[in-house]
Amino acid sequence: MKEKIAFTVTRYGEQINGGAEMHCRMLAERLTERYDVEVLTTCVQNYVTGEYGFDAGVGHLNGVTVRRFHTKPYNRKAEKKWLSKIRPVRRIRRFLYRCGCLKYVANIFPVWKWGLDSDIKALENSVFYSPEMNAYLQEYKDSYKAVISITSIFAPFYFTAAIAGEKMIGIPTLHCERASFRPSLTRSFTSTACLGFNTETEKTLAEDIFGHKNISGRLISVGIEDNEAAEWEVVKRKFALPDRYAVFIGRIEKGKAGKLIRYYTGYVARHPDAPKLVMVGGIVREVGRHKDIIYTGFVSDGEKRCLLRHALMLVNPSKYESLSLVLLEALRDKVPVLVNGKCNVLKGHCVLSGGAVRSYENYRGFCRNFERISNDSNLRKYMVENGEKYYLENYSWGKVMPRLYEAIDSIH
């Protein structure tokens, strides 16, 4: 009989558009070869409003048992009230981090108690808080060999650590953002049996925030799916695509799209013959329209790969990434990548890949790099050759899964 493994995650399903959720699905489905895998998740589909998209109960998806639980009704007003109370704490911790002092403070005082109670109250009023899921985990945690929880800033991660920290492998997908300095994370990071990071850059960030003495961390990361691409001519007609375009793939919102639309429209105003910009994904919050930007909405996996393969470049303007799955997909498919250099993890890819990824930090940097990648075929050739090598050596499934098996074996 196979040992049981559980995942806890905010949302789960084929129609869920999000990197952490896809990360969870890929790991869960691959672990079914060795383990009886369950996912404990919520009924929520819309993470902004808390609106349900699934029924509570037990289902199955690609060999994985999925247990969905109701959430407490989302109380945005109460969440904001409690978050406002921890704002001074978060700011002080971020200031200490920028000064390079926080890691030393954290080594001495691992759990930051000032503001902790208020932070827990905020989590209890947040969109993904599920007392039902917590009660189930409390009752059945001993039936699992390990519990893997993904994304540290949401309620399931904190309460999984509080309930089953001794069995927990936390995959925090940590970014250098305001939420990473919440006091609740000091308790969850230090009570977790093992932390699994996507990059060495993310691991270093965690040590600088929470202290290297307090966390048991290792590199695990994740690979990507090898979906068959849809036919180019069919996709080209469907979305009225030009021959030359750059592509953005992800949730179309400020946190992910950043200043891309403003930078691109500024560039194309000066270069009318510039490649079009194709934005692939659901529009979470309405954004400006422009005649040189094509919005596809949600697409199938095959269409997404086709759109990526035929692009001149992928642009990832997000400041908040712990890995970037779409970046890995571009490297695999020999597509140059331009990223926001203000994200430590994406900047790390630029260095570690030997120039397969280029970055910008402002409008001028965006225009300069967009211009070069668009028009310099020798540069594109250099980037894709190094990118394929970087992907195969670090993020193929043959590298990732042994690291995950070792992490599971470390849980006693």
Tokens of 16: 């869920």
pLDDT of 253 over the 80 cut? no
Domains 4-77+84-223+397-409 and 232-394 share a fold: yes
Tokens of 73: 């009704």
Q: What is the pLDDT of residue 93?
A: 97
Residue with tokens 């940097």: 365
Determine the Cα–Cα distance for residues 174 and 132; give it in Å rounded to an integer: 26
Q: Listing from the earlier edge strand, what are the strands of the sheet with 36-42?
A: 57-61, 64-69, 36-42, 4-8, 146-150, 168-171, 194-197, 217-219
- Tokens standing for 351? 């260095």
Residues 6+ apart with CB under 8 A from 266: 363, 367
Dist. CA 340–CA 130, nearest whole Å: 35
CATH superfamily name and code, 232-394: Glycogen Phosphorylase B; (3.40.50.2000)
Given a cut of 90, whether residue 216 has pLDDT beyond it is: no
What is the mean pLDDT of the segment spanning 117-143?
Answer: 98
Which residue, among 338, 382, 408, has the nearest Cα to 34 in the 3D structure? Answer: 408
pLDDT (0 to 100) of residue 288: 64
Region 41-55: mean pLDDT is 93
> Cα separation of 305 and 267, whole Å?
26
- pLDDT given at position 202: 92
Stated pTM of the model: 0.87
**Chain segment 346-390, per-residue pLDDT in tens:** 999 999 999 999 999 999 999 999 999 999 999 999 999 999 999
Q: How far apart are the C-alpha atoms of 275 and 311, rounded to whole Å? A: 10
How many other C-beta atoms are found inside a 10 Å radius of the C-beta of residue 128? 23
Contact, 144 vs 160, CB < 8 A?
no
Q: Averaging pLDDT over each range in 157-166, 286-295, 386-395, which range is the top one? A: 157-166
pLDDT of res. 256: 72
Percent of the chain residues topping a pLDDT of 70: 98
Residue 160 · residue 150 · CB < 8 Å: no
Q: How far apart are CA 277 and CA 370, in angstroms?
A: 11
The contacts found for 317-320 with CB under 8 angstroms, 24 or more apart, are 317/248, 317/256, 317/257, 317/258, 317/259, 317/260, 317/263, 318/250, 318/255, 318/256, 318/257, 318/258, 318/343, 318/346, 319/175, 319/177, 319/255, 319/258, 319/343, 320/175, 320/176, 320/177, 320/255, 320/256
Q: How many beta carbons lie within 10 A of that of residue 216, not counting itself?
A: 14
Contact 64, 12 (CB under 8 A): no
Average pLDDT over residues 318-330: 91
Q: Kindly list the domain boundaries of the chain, sorted by start residue.
A: 4-77+84-223+397-409, 232-394
pLDDT digits (tens, 9 = 90+) for 58-115: 999 999 999 999 999 999 999 999 999 999 999 999 999 999 999 999 999 999 999 9
Does domain 4-77+84-223+397-409 fall under CATH 1.10.760.10? My reply is no
State the chain's mean pLDDT as an integer. Answer: 94
